[in-house]
Amino acid sequence: MHRIDSRDKKKLFRHEWVKFALFSLLIMILPVLFEGGYLLNVFIFVGIHTLLAVALNLLLGYAGQISLGQAAFFGLGAFASGILTATYGQNPWLMMVVVAAAVGLLAFAIGFPILKLKGHYLAMATLGFGIIVYIIFNEAVELTGGPSGFSGIPNLTVGGITFDSDFKNYYLIWGVTLVTILLSLNLVNSRIGRGLRAIHDSEVAARVMGVNVRLMKVQIFALSAVISSVAGSLYAHTMTFVSPTSFGFNFSVELVTMVIIGGLGSIYGSFLGAALLTLLPEFLRAFQDYDIVVYGFLLVFMTMFMPGGLVRGIPSLVQNLRARIGGGASDA
């Protein structure tokens, strides 16, 4: 119960900027530390996964609405970008925008009926959507190459630079991810962000306050689809090859796990969750086939012992340990 006057508020605001600047700096110097090793490649995936986790967190962590179909939006972005550039020779940057807009519109259209549902029913509906899209990826062989995948996607170019190495792609993807993080931080601390969090805490009270709950849910669902689609386009142009298995149900679950483990309603938490779940398989190769079991275990463990996610759990763990060590020392 302390009061923060306007000067403190400004300081607080500056504090947010410092945090973001430090985070960006860390991301920017990481490749130097990796010296172009394979960790650099892993961190490209951390970037893409962070983008996807932030997108889902806006929906799940802030508005409190589950989606088990995020991999579908990611896949739609990847396949559409790949096909339009490789098969039809369109401009990749233009297509990235066009595809994102189209995926956003699709999400907007299906969002109106789907987001009327709540809880398990919403989970089932988004799951169903994800599965339908996954089947299309597999069955539309003419277009997508089917289960064997789609190759020959061109790298992105800007001016004379072609993004054809891990080093360049790292900066490309993290550039987009950092901008998205910044914009998301702005968004969650605005009239819209308050509306979303209000829906999460009490939908009926939000409605009484004049928040158009239905429209807002659909808008944020569409926004998360747009971001996921952009992530998909970037993924396609980086990998130059895409296959349906990357966009299945397992990956949707993995994304939900990232958001929950990192911390619901925390943008930086999404990075932590994405980093952990991307790095973990690299260190636990033996679990590869049982990854879904490990994710399940992690989810159970986290919800039981760190319900706030890593972003809140770690500081309180450190505090507890410090208190315990401090207490032990004074006893001795």
Partner 1 sequence: MLEVKAITQRFGGVTALEDVSFGVKASDITGIIGPNGAGKTTLFNIITGIYTATSGTVHLEGKNVTRMVPEKLATLGMVRTFQNIELFGKMTVLENVMVGLHTKGTSGILSSALRLPWQVKEERRLREQAHHWLSFTGITDLADAEAGSLPFGKGRLLEIARAMALEPKLVLMDEPAAGLNSRETLELARLIQRIREAGVTVALVEHDMELVMDICDAIVVLNLGRKLAEGTPQEIQENPEVVSAYLGEG
Q: Is 48 in the site for partner 1 (CB under 8 A)?
A: no
Q: What share of the chain is helix, strand, coil (3-state, %, to 5)?
A: 80, 0, 15
- The residue range among 29-37, 106-114, 209-217, 314-322 that interacts with partner 1, by the rule CB under 8 A, is 209-217
Q: Is 7 in the site for partner 1 (CB under 8 A)?
A: no
Q: Is 210 in the site for partner 1 (CB under 8 A)?
A: yes
Query: How far is residue 43's CA from residue 30's CA, in Å, rounded to a whole number?
Result: 9
Residue with smaller CB distance to partner 1, 169 or 177: 177
Q: According to CB under 8 A, which one of 213, 256, 298, 306 is a site residue for partner 1?
A: 213
Nearest by Cα to 59 from 202, 274, 226, 178:
226
Query: How far is residue 164's CA from residue 316's CA, in Å, rounded to a whole number?
Result: 42
Q: Under a CB-based contact definition with an 8 Å cutoff, are residues 188 and 62 in contact?
A: yes
Backbone angles phi, psi at 164, to 5 degrees: -115, 5
Residue corresponding to tokens 């399940």: 296
Contacts with partner 1 in 141-170 (CB under 8 A)? none
Q: Is 329 in the site for partner 1 (CB under 8 A)?
A: no
- The residue range among 28-36, 156-164, 217-225, 230-238 that interacts with partner 1, by the rule CB under 8 A, is 217-225
Residue with smaller CB distance to partner 1, 44 or 196: 196
Nearest by Cα to 24 from 230, 268, 223, 227:
268
Q: Is 286 in the site for partner 1 (CB under 8 A)?
A: no
Contacts with partner 1 in 292-311 (CB under 8 A)? none
Q: According to CB under 8 A, which one of 60, 83, 115, 211 is a site residue for partner 1?
A: 211
Q: In sequence order, which residues have a C-beta less than 8 Å from that of residue 260 and are 6 or more positions away?
A: 273, 299, 302, 303, 309
Q: Is 2 in the site for partner 1 (CB under 8 A)?
A: yes
Reading the block at residue 300, the tokens are: 């159970």
What type of residue is 54?
V
- The residue range among 114-122, 151-159, 218-226, 269-277 that interacts with partner 1, by the rule CB under 8 A, is 218-226
Gyration radius of the chain over CA positions: 21
90: enclosing H helix or E strand: none
Query: How far is residue 73's CA from residue 228's CA, in Å, rounded to a whole number?
Result: 6
Q: Is 193 in the site for partner 1 (CB under 8 A)?
A: yes
Q: According to CB under 8 A, which one of 18, 109, 183, 300 is a site residue for partner 1?
A: 183
- The residue range among 34-42, 67-75, 206-214, 266-274 that interacts with partner 1, by the rule CB under 8 A, is 206-214
Contacts 24+ apart (CB under 8 A), 210-213: none
- The residue range among 31-39, 72-80, 116-124, 211-219 that interacts with partner 1, by the rule CB under 8 A, is 211-219
- The residue range among 27-35, 46-54, 219-227, 316-324 that interacts with partner 1, by the rule CB under 8 A, is 219-227
Residues that bind partner 1 (CB under 8 A): 1-4, 183-184, 186-187, 190-195, 197-198, 200-202, 204-213, 219-220, 223, 265
